[in-house]
Amino acid sequence: MVYGICFCPVSRKENLKNLKVADSKTLSEAERENLFLKLDKAKGFVGWALQILSPNTISTSMLQRAKYNLNALSHDAAIGLVQYALDCGVQLKEVFVDTVGPAEKYEE
């Protein structure tokens, strides 16, 4: 599974929207490649990062004695990416999350 974060100044939010950033599951491979090129060209105002969870990591987490389920993995990946942006000095004002499981858990 791949989790990602994309961030930009609030004043450039419309520019980000115009790039047609979307959940990768809704995009074809060609659209994902094109989006990557657009993000690279927009690097003057857009930052991004990925966290990749390998099948081995997911399986090991779910099968260990103290279970660590997919909802928890997803939650922690999202939180880790937000923390990464903060650690890079990004001053976040708005966060939009495509959640796995209850959205309330992400708000906590």
**pTM above 0.85?**
no
Question: Rounded to an integer, what distance in angstroms lies between the CA atom of residue 23 and that of residue 79?
Answer: 17
Q: What is the pLDDT of residue 12?
A: 93
| Structural domains for the chain | 2-107 (3.30.420.10)
Q: Are 3 and 98 within 8 A, CB to CB?
A: no
pLDDT value for 105: 74
> Are residues 90 and 7 in contact, defined by beta-carbon separation less than 8 angstroms?
yes
Q: What is the DSSP letter of 100?
A: S
pLDDT tens digits, one per residue of 33-67? 999 999 999 999 999 999 999 999 888 888 888 88
Average pLDDT, whole number, for the chain?
A: 87
CA distance 9 to 13: 7
DSSP SS3 for 77: helix
